[in-house]
Structures are given as C-alpha cells and as structure tokens.
Amino acid sequence: MSRRSAFVITCLAFGYAFLYVPIASMVVYSFNASQLVTVWDHAHSPTLKWFGALLHDQEILGAAWISLKVAVANATGSVILGTLAGYGLARFPRFRGRFAFTAMTTAPLVMPEVITGLSLLLLFVTLEQTIGWPAGRGIGTMIIGHMTFSMAYVTVVVQSRLATFDRSVEEAAMDLGARPVKVFFVITLPIIFPAVLAGWLLAFTLSWDDLVISSFTAGPGSNTLPMVVFSMVRLGVNPEINALATLTITAVTILAVGATWLTARARRHAASAAA
Amino acid sequence: MVTAIGRRAAGEPWNDPDARPYVELRRVTKKFGEFTAVDDVSLKIYEREVFCLLGASGCGKTTLLRMLGGFESPTAGRILIDGEDVTDVPPYERPVNMMFQSYALFPHMNVEQNVAFGLKQDRLPKAVIRERVAAMLEMVQLGEYAKRKVGQLSGGQRQRVALARALVKRPKVLLLDEPLGALDKKLRERTQFELIGLQDKLGVTFLVVTHDQEEAMTLASRIGVMDRGTIAQAGTPAEIYEFPNSRFVADFIGSVNLFEGRLVEDEPEFVRIDSAELGGTILVGHGISSAPEAALWAALRPEKITMSRGAPPQTDNVTRGIVQDVAYLGDLSIYVVRLATGKLVRVTRPNTARHAEPVERDGEVYLSWDAASPVVVTR
Ligand SMILES: Nc1ncnc2c1ncn2[C@@H]1O[C@H](COP(=O)(O)OP(=O)(O)O)[C@@H](O)[C@H]1O
Ligand SMILES: [Mg+2]
C-alpha cells in the first residue's frame, strides 16, 4: 500500500470516527443495564429495559406525539407555501423587488433562532392582546413558528429545482389546451415532485429536532420531544434518552435505506424497460 | 435540390389578390426592452401552405413563431388566424399547435399519454381519444412504442412523438421550430420527406422555422428570408433563388458572384452595366427600374457560368481568368477563377462526363454566360 493511500485512509478513519463514535457509544449504552450512564453493568447487560421504560413513559410518549403533529403540520404547510414562493421566484424572474424578495425568503436561514423565536413570541403576545388571536400559545403557534424558517428551506430547494426546468414543457402543455393552473398541477408539480418531497422531509426534520423556537412559542402542556429531553438531561442524563436516540437513529436509517432502495428499483425498472 | 412549387396550396394563392389568407401578420413588432427582435413584419400565409421562415440564428424566427403560438405578445401589430384576430387570445385557446425546438415532451408520461394530453384537455370521450392517439402513433410509426417512457426513446423517435402530439389536435396551423435541427444529417433528409408526406395527407398548414436553406428549399411552398427582425423577401424557392431582391438574399440562399457597377445603357428590353470589378460590361436581358446614378450589383450564380479553354463565339458577357483553385465535390466541382482585375469568381460545373477538356489549376479559361442569367439588385 502506498504512503499516500495510507494517509488518505487515516484521514477518512478520523473523519468517520469524529462523526460516528459518539453515536455508536450512545447506541451501545442504550443497552446498558446500569442506571448510571457512564458505568457499564457487566452482569445484566445487554438489556432492553430502557426501551420498555420508554414505552411506558407517558411524558415522553405525549411529547413525541406532539412533536409528530407539529412536524407533519409544519412540513405540509411549509411545502405548500415554500413551493408557491419558489415557483414565483423562479418563474417571474424580472418582477420589481425580486432581489428584496429573494433576500427576504432566505433571511430566516441565517437569522439566529433566538431572535426569530423572541420576535414570534412578542408578535403572538401582542396579537392576543389586540385581536384576541391566538388565544394563548400551544401547538398552533409552534407550527406557525416552525413554518417561518422551514418554509425558507423548501423555497430554496424548489427554486433551485425549477432553475433547471425546461420552461417549454409548461408552454407545450398550455399550447395543447391546459390552463396555467392545470399546467402547474398536472405538469410542473409531478416533474418537480422529488424536490418537493425532499423539501417536506427537510421541513419535517427541522421541526422534529427544533428546540429554540419551540421553547419560545410553546404554551403550557405543549412540550415537544426535544423540550422534554432537554429538561430531562438538565437533571442528569437518563439511560432512557439513549434508548430514545437509538430508536430515532434506527428510524432514520430505515428511511434512508428505503429511499435508496426505491430509487435504485425505479432506475432498474427504467433500464429493463429500455432494453 | 428538390422543390415543391405548386404541390401544396392549390394554385398560387399568393399571386391572387382576392385569395383569403389563413394566417396574417399585420405590421407586427416585438421589442425586448430596447432590442427589436421582430421589426414591422407583415405576412400572409395561405391554407395548406408550407411556409418556411429562413434566417441566421438570432434574426427573430423563434420570436415570430412564439407570437403566433401566443407565448409572446406583440409590442405592436395584429395577428389573424382564419380571419379571426387572435392577438390577445391565450395559447390554450388558439387554434394552432406548436412543435418546440427542444420537443418539450412530458418526461413523466409515456408516449401514449404525451400524445393524448391535448385531446384530454378538450374533454373528448375516452374511446375517441384512444382511437385518435392510436391512429396518430401508427401514422408516425410509433405504434409499438406507445407504452414507452419518453426518456427511453432515440432522438428521431422523440421528434416523432412531438410531431404526433402537436398534430393529433388537428390544428389549423402547425408551428414547427427547427423540427429537424436535433437530428443527424442522414435522418434529417429522410424525415424531411416524411414531414411533407404527413402534411400532404393531413392538409394542415405548416409554418416551419429553420436556419438550413436546403431544408427550407425541400419543405417549403414559400420561403420568407429573415434578416435582423424583418422579412427580406418572401417567395417560392425558385423565385428566391432565381430572382433575389437584394444582395443579402442572393448571398444567403446558395452562393453568388456579385459585380458592383453602374448603368450605362437602360432600355426596356435590356440593360448594360459597366463593372470595374469585372473589367468590362455585363449585358442583362431584362429591363430594370432603378435610378441611373444609383449603385447596383449584378448577381451571377456559379452554375450559370460556362467555362471553356477556347474563346466562346459570343462577344457580350465574356471574360478571361486564371483558375486559382479547384475543389472536387463528387457530383460537381467548384472552380475559383481570378480575373485580371483581381476579382475572384466562383464557377461550378457538374461532373457529368469525364471532361474531354480538363480544366486545371493555373490554366487560363474563358468565362461566359447568357444574358438571361444575371440578376440586378440595388441593395
Ligand atoms: N425573452 C427574451 N428576452 C430578451 N431577448 C430575447 C428574448 N427572446 C429572444 N430574445 C432576443 O431576440 C433575438 C431573436 O431571438 P430568436 O427569435 O430566438 O432568434 P432565432 O430563433 O431566429 O435564432 C435574439 O437576439 C435574442 O437574444
Ligand atoms: Mg430559434
């Protein structure tokens, strides 16, 4: 083996170790029987008892359910608004104030979350005092809060997909008798659907692990999973958290592998049909 | 070169002042900001014609076509189709269909769905759609590819899907933007004839954009030569070739020798032009209408010049020169002859027989031509 390739392999090993050793150690410790996170109980490990405990922890289950509702609502809302914004920005490239619009849609990407969260909180409080809506804070305000930044990501994803889109395909549909709205739903949307789906997943993920904005916009009884985990960890790391993390990683891995497999299968189908 | 004069568009409606135009552009102008892409174009196209817009890239052909399709609205002027003013009618309500240069097929649909799309928009009964799509696919020889995704087709097949998709709606006018531009030369030649055949059979009026003059000659009943947003000349392929109205058209269609000169004899039956470039006079066997002092040019096609080693019998329209270059192209040869004035003249001669009198490089030759051959242009 040449020196150079040995060097490259060392670099790679360090890089991957940096990324995955913490995760791997957490997965391993989720099967630890000891109550103390840092002590490995040789006598009783590995065990699934923390996974069992997790399934009976009403606080975590409730928080997970809230997180799921918020994430799905946020992803769906963000995809609708973000796709419209991305379409507008990509399709009408010369309207007045386009630069300002582009800057404004992407600003939430770089805005410190604390500032976004605080301003949302102030807005909700003021609104409640003046028009009586939203009455208190809870899941609804959290969804709105998450959408303010998730939507920006979806906009960017959709806009960049549309930048490489052959406009004459839309024109051809119009030429054949489809009105613009129909063209959007029957031609444009199906073609950019992978980008829209990617945007949905991205928005879902952003919402699922958001802590800062949730904390500002949540109300009593609407704690999300990250909020519950964070408050639990502050009282000391609980092995249940490790189990929760392991489950999350498993879900993510299954999703990623499934997506890859589906794509590969679609490609194989295409190839065999061509032959 | 194959031309199709009078084959389509019964008679010659463009010469009949009472004939009703099918498509009419009235002083149409299109500006993009300060830039004028189409400049005050008026044009009449008749039913069942194949009209070719021919011009160099960037001269505004696509812009003109897109205005007919409804994708650009004219800055000034009106567009009429079958007598109806469609200037402000959106694309989805116009009785025309367009075949896009990129084909613009729907990538998420198969061949059949692509072709059926237009009929579905008209809410036709399913059975009718199925029947018409199948017939159309048969006509463009794609019957067995109905279920293929368009991504799995060759360039030629994609071209035919695009054509079928636009034709299946039986438009009054089919607009074709460089329909054969993406095909290789052999396939292009074959497809030209298929396209004519299809047009003949369906009787649809075609408006074809192309930058390939041979393609325009093959397809067109009439050609409109475009130059920087204007139509420089419109006429049958033979008219355009034999009687170009300007140096631009003469030079754009085929190749031509241009001799600058001035009028020295101006009779109704003939004119004589004195050309310093030629070093003599040119006798032109038809009268012209031009101010005597204006600069003018005699345009002479290379194949209309006779080349001989011995002096020809005639006294007019003869000159001498040295053969500077010979290019053998198989069916014909091109000779470049240098006159005493230094002017280079292009002459072509078909290689029909093994010439008894071979012409070689550096040999001295006589060039002569008939008085009917030169055309006088004033711009
Ligand atoms: N949407 C547009 N905005 C600005 N300029 C345009 C636009 N479309 C075409 N042009 C310009 O108009 C001219 C003619 O274009 P086009 O009609 O596409 O030419 P052709 O099809 O003859 O090659 C070109 O110089 C092109 O740059
Ligand atoms: Mg073009």
For A62-93, the pLDDT digits (tens) are: 999 999 999 999 999 999 999 999 998 888 76
Q: What is the mean pLDDT of residues A12-27?
A: 90
Q: How do B332-339 and B296-300 pair as beta strands? A: unpaired
Q: B101 to chain A: which residues are within 8 Å by CB?
A: 168
CATH number of B255-377: 2.40.50.140
Walk along chain B (379 residues) and give the pLDDT tens digit of each residue.
344 444 455 578 888 888 888 999 999 999 998 999 999 999 999 988 999 999 998 999 999 999 999 999 999 999 999 989 999 999 999 999 999 999 999 999 999 999 999 999 999 999 999 999 999 999 888 989 999 999 889 888 999 999 999 999 989 899 999 988 878 888 888 888 888 888 888 889 999 999 988 889 988 999 999 999 999 999 999 989 988 888 899 888 888 999 988 888 887 788 888 888 888 888 888 777 766 667 788 889 999 998 888 888 888 888 888 898 888 888 888 999 998 888 899 999 888 776 556 777 888 888 988 888 888 888 8
Q: What pLDDT, on the 0 to 100 scale, is given for residue A171?
A: 95
Closest CA to B9 of B24, B18, B22, B28: B22
Q: What pLDDT, on the 0 to 100 scale, is given for residue A102?
A: 80
Q: A177 to chain B: which residues are within 8 Å by CB?
A: 92-93, 118, 121-122, 169
Q: Could you identify the atom of ligand 1 that is nearest to the CA of residue B55?
A: 22
Q: Which residue is closest in CA terms to ligand 1's atom 12?
A: B37
Q: Which domain holds residue A233?
A: 53-274
Distance, CA of A191 to CA of A168 (rounded, Å): 13
Query: Does A172 fall in a domain?
Result: yes
Distance, CA of B137 to CA of B115 (rounded, Å): 8
Judged by a CB distance cut-off of 8 A, whether residue A178 touches chain B is yes
Q: pLDDT band at A273, cuts 50/70/90?
A: very low
Residue type, B26: R
Judged by a CB distance cut-off of 8 A, whether residue A172 touches chain B is yes
Interface test with A, best of B67, B89, B96, B98 (most A CBs within 10 A): B98
Beta bridge partners of B334: B327, B348
CA of B64 to the centre of ligand 1 (A): 10
Q: What is the mean pLDDT of residues A194-219?
A: 90
Establish whether residue B62 lines the binding site of ligand 1, counting it when its CB lies within 6 angstroms of any ligand atom. yes
Look at A177 and B330; give whichever has higher pLDDT: A177
Establish whether residue B210 lines the binding site of ligand 1, counting it when its CB lies within 6 angstroms of any ligand atom. no
Contact state of B105 with A169 under an 8 Å Cβ cutoff: yes
Is the pLDDT at A56 greater than 80? The verdict is yes
Answer for the pair B324, B338: CB distance below 8 angstroms, yes or no. Answer: yes
CA dihedral sign of residues A64, A66, A69, A75: negative
Q: Which residue is closest in CA terms to ligand 1's atom 24?
A: B58
Q: Which residues, 6+ apart, have CB-to-CB distance to A49 below 8 Å?
A: A33
**Nearest residue in B to A172, CA atom:** B104
Q: What pLDDT, on the 0 to 100 scale, is given for residue B357?
A: 66
Split into its structural domains, chain A has a count of: 1
**Nearest residue in A to B116, CA atom:** A176
Whole-number percent of chain A with pLDDT over 90? 40
Q: Tokens for A260?
A: 């890859």
Establish whether residue B61 lines the binding site of ligand 1, counting it when its CB lies within 6 angstroms of any ligand atom. yes
Beta bridge partners of B99: B176
Distance, CA of B328 to CA of B370 (rounded, Å): 25
Query: Does A5 fall in a domain?
Result: no
Query: Does A3 fall in a domain?
Result: no
Q: B146 to chain A: which residues are within 8 Å by CB?
A: none
By a Cβ cutoff of 8 Å, what residues of chain B touch chain A? 69-71, 90-93, 96-98, 100-102, 104-108, 117-118, 121-122, 148-149, 151-152, 165-166, 169
Interface test with A, best of B100, B111, B114, B163 (most A CBs within 10 A): B100
How far does the CA of residue B67 sit from the closest CA of chain A (Å)? Answer: 12
Q: What pLDDT, on the 0 to 100 scale, is given for residue B354?
A: 64
The pTM of this model reads: 0.82
Q: How do B296-300 and B375-377 pair as beta strands? A: antiparallel
Q: How do B35-45 and B173-177 pair as beta strands? A: unpaired
Residue A268's Cβ-count burial label (10 Å; 0-12, 13-18, 19+) is exposed
Alpha helices per DSSP H over chain B = 61-69, 111-121, 126-139, 155-167, 185-202, 213-219, 237-242, 247-252
CATH code for position A239:
1.10.3720.10
Q: What pLDDT, on the 0 to 100 scale, is given for residue A146?
A: 94
Q: What pLDDT, on the 0 to 100 scale, is given for residue A97?
A: 79
**Nearest residue in A to B96, CA atom:** A175
**Nearest residue in A to B97, CA atom:** A175
The angle subtended at Cα B130 by Cα B126 and Cα B131, nearest 5°, is 120
Residues with CB under 5 A from ligand 2 (ion): B 62
Question: First and final CA of chain A: distance in angstroms?
Answer: 41
Question: First and final CA of chain B: distance in angstroms?
Answer: 27
CA of A157 to the centre of ligand 1 (A): 29
Contact state of A174 with B90 under an 8 Å Cβ cutoff: yes
Q: How far is CA B264 from the centre of its chain?
A: 35
Q: Which residue is closest in CA terms to ligand 1's atom 16?
A: B60
Phi, psi of A94 (to 5 degrees): -120, 25
Is the pLDDT at A272 greater than 80? The verdict is no
Query: Does A264 fall in a domain?
Result: yes
**CATH of range B13-95+171-247; options 3.20.20.70, 3.10.20.30, 3.40.50.300, 3.40.50.460:** 3.40.50.300
Q: What is the mean pLDDT of residues A232-256?
A: 85
Listed by start position, the domains of chain B span 13-95+171-247, 255-377
Q: Is B227 helix (H, G, I), strand (E, B) or coil?
A: strand
Q: What pLDDT, on the 0 to 100 scale, is given for residue A269?
A: 58
Distance, CA of B129 to CA of A193 (rounded, Å): 27
Query: Does A25 fall in a domain?
Result: no
206-225 of A, contacting B, C-beta below 8 A: none
Is the pLDDT at A114 greater than 60? The verdict is yes
Of the partner residues A169, A178, A270, the one whose CB lies closest to the CB of residue B104:
A169
Look at B55 and A108; give whichever has higher pLDDT: B55
Q: B90 to chain A: which residues are within 8 Å by CB?
A: 174
Contact state of B104 with A176 under an 8 Å Cβ cutoff: no
How far does the CA of residue B91 sit from the closest CA of chain A (Å)? Answer: 5
Q: What pLDDT, on the 0 to 100 scale, is given for residue A270?
A: 53
Of the partner residues A174, A187, A191, the one whose CB lies closest to the CB of residue B92:
A174
Q: Which residue is closest in CA terms to ligand 1's atom 3?
A: B32
Query: Does A37 fall in a domain?
Result: no
Judged by a CB distance cut-off of 8 A, whether residue A181 touches chain B is no
Establish whether residue B59 lines the binding site of ligand 1, counting it when its CB lies within 6 angstroms of any ligand atom. yes
CB pairs under 8 A between A and B: 68
Of the partner residues B108, B122, B152, the one whose CB lies closest to the CB of residue A273:
B152
**Nearest residue in A to B101, CA atom:** A168
